[in-house]
Homo-oligomer: A and B are copies of this chain.
Amino acid sequence: MNVSHTSAGATGLRLRRLGIDTYQQSVVYLRADAPLVRSEGFEAQSRLEVRHLLQPQRRVTATLNVVHTALLAPDEIGVSEAAWRALGGAEGDAMVAEHAPPLVSFGAIQSKIFGRPLGRDAAGAVVADIAAGRYSDIELAAMISACSGNRLDEAETHALTVAMIAAGQRLHWEGPVVADKHCVGGLPGNRTTLLVVPMVAACGLTIPKTSSRAITSPAGTADAMETLAPVALDLPALRRVVDRTGGCIAWGGAMQLSPVDDMLIRVERPLGLDSDGLLVASILSKKAAAGSTHVLIDIPVGRTAKVRSMEAAGRLAQRLVNVGRQLGMTVSVEMTDGEQPVGRGVGPALEAADALAVLQSQPDAPGDLRRRALLLAGYLLELCGKAAPGSGLVMASNALSSGAAWRKFQEICEAQGGMRTPPRAPYTRALCAAHAGRVAAVDNHALACAAKLAGAPKAPAAGLVFHAPLGTVVAVGQPLLTLHAESPGELAYAMAYAEHQEHLVTIVEAP
């Protein structure tokens, strides 16, 4: 019920930061015996609009938690960290709270649940309200459920993507070709971005790459790059780096490109729901907002990867290409082997070290990572018209073997604020083969979990080095992987986990 016409909510409340991290959903806390709670008919879980008394444009929509103890004074309004960030201000600032206005756009989600398609205007209104923080977590969960199970058709996917682009910043670059790459994910390691960007930039392409930090994985590209150079660039800094070097590898989070995507991912992940439509909107909205014109998308396909069959990969690819075309982007999809990690390192610094080894053409550099990066760089060069069809791989190989890619990478790091040496973990321990044989399967999920328990990505040196790719013939006691940690406790904890995962590395009798 919207009662904003009355002044009962205008009693000043004193702002109090409680330091509670409720993740992205804003929560406010009021005493059960606060006069406002009774006069407004507030209840636990009421959605409130809270604003500064003197600066009413600084406001947030939040869920109410009622407090029955002296945690708060009756005239205080406690706020969660997300609400504190959204409101700004200082402790003790005078605030007002009232019932949030009705969330009109949610009607389109209710309609979608009842089978009616999500129109263009409705998609715009839904995304604008999500961007403004007006959707509660359960409303987001309903929205995601309504769109999952392939319930979004191509027109709806396009409408959502357009709305998600409009809800954030959009970058513009000079020149007709702005290259980009993206990996759908699900494989540990596989840090090809750190190689593809300097390779294609060395060949003269413009590739202003923005990446995410880890959400549920042991490292995101931004986490790995951060062990080599600063990544939290603002827009002017990003432009300077790209103007000077042709490329960058920056963290996209500072740039508010398709912020709604991040808000949806936060609820999608714990629900384990995926949807081609939402995934396509997520990827393409980020790419379009970044100003990319030619995008190569890597879809690893494997039994424990994110995409598990060629059929599923084919459907996803078709949708990416079609919606990309409607947005004016040239999108190409490469399906790659997703049965095992790519490279040896899993974790920010260990993945960075793999990339450095390839760039420096070290003899022990991981060959699978090198091959995959060359393949993707070659395709991207062809997609962007920089290399003739069939000659991209040679061009990329030359950039690598000549040292041009390595020099370009150093240039980019210097331009981003100075190159760093990745940290090394003080504590390491090997997990060894319990019996001899041949490696027949690798559980990508379990490897990622072990690396996370060792401390990645928060502890940048933590993670693991994987020694046993498919087909490796191992003797009893031979190391399968080495865990790296920054504390003995985390090392022990990750080891206990890894030792109990029967399917982490499956070893069969060698023929």
Contact = CB atoms under 8 A, between A and B. Distances in A.
A8 interface: yes
Given A141-B141, A272-B106, A113 B44 contact: no
Contact of A271 (B40, B138, B266, B490): B138
Contact of A44 (B18, B22, B136, B272): B22
Contacts of A68: 19-21, 81
Contact of A114 (B8, B29, B149, B487): B149
B3 A497 contact: yes
Nearest to A272: B110
Contacts of A35: 489
A414 interface: no
A39 interface: yes
Nearest to A102: B272
Most chain B CB neighbours (cut-off 10 Å) among A17, A270, A455: A270
Question: How many of chain A's residues touch chain B, expressed as a range?
Answer: 35 or more
A1 interface: yes
A263 B387 CA distance: 61
Contacts of A23: 44-45
Given A6-B496, A71-B20, A41 B453 contact: yes
A142 B139 contact: no
A32 interface: yes
A66 interface: yes
Contacts of A150: 114
A40 B68 CA distance: 31
B270 A71 contact: no
Contact of A500 (B5, B47, B273, B487): B5
Interface in A137-174: 137-142, 144-146, 148-150
A148 B116 CA distance: 13
Given A18-B71, A496-B5, A500-B5, A489 B146 contact: no
Most chain B CB neighbours (cut-off 10 Å) among A40, A65, A136: A65
A6 B29 CA distance: 36
A509 B149 CA distance: 53
Contacts of A114: 148-150
Contacts of A149: 113-115
Per assembly, the copies of the chain total 2
Most chain B CB neighbours (cut-off 10 Å) among A23, A137, A138: A138
A286 interface: no
A493 B8 contact: yes
A449 interface: yes
A32 to B, nearest CB: 7
Contacts of A47: 270
B145 A18 contact: no
A39 B67 CA distance: 30
A497 B80 CA distance: 30
A38 interface: yes
B141 A6 contact: no
A421 interface: no
B142 A490 contact: no
A69 interface: yes
Interface in A27-79: 29, 32, 35, 38-41, 44-45, 47, 65-69, 71
Contacts of A357: none
Contacts of A81: 68
Nearest to A47: B270
20 contacts: A1-B452, A1-B497, A3-B453, A3-B496, A6-B496, A18-B71, A19-B68, A19-B69, A19-B71, A20-B65, A21-B67, A22-B44, A22-B45, A39-B489, A41-B452, A113-B145, A114-B149, A136-B270, A138-B267, A142-B273
Given A3-B493, A6-B497, 11 more contacts: A1-B449, A1-B453, A17-B69, A19-B71, A21-B67, A22-B65, A23-B44, A39-B489, A39-B490, A114-B148, A138-B267
List of 6 A-B pairs having minimum Cβ-Cβ separation, nearest first: A19-B69, A145-B145, A141-B141, A138-B141, A114-B149, A19-B68
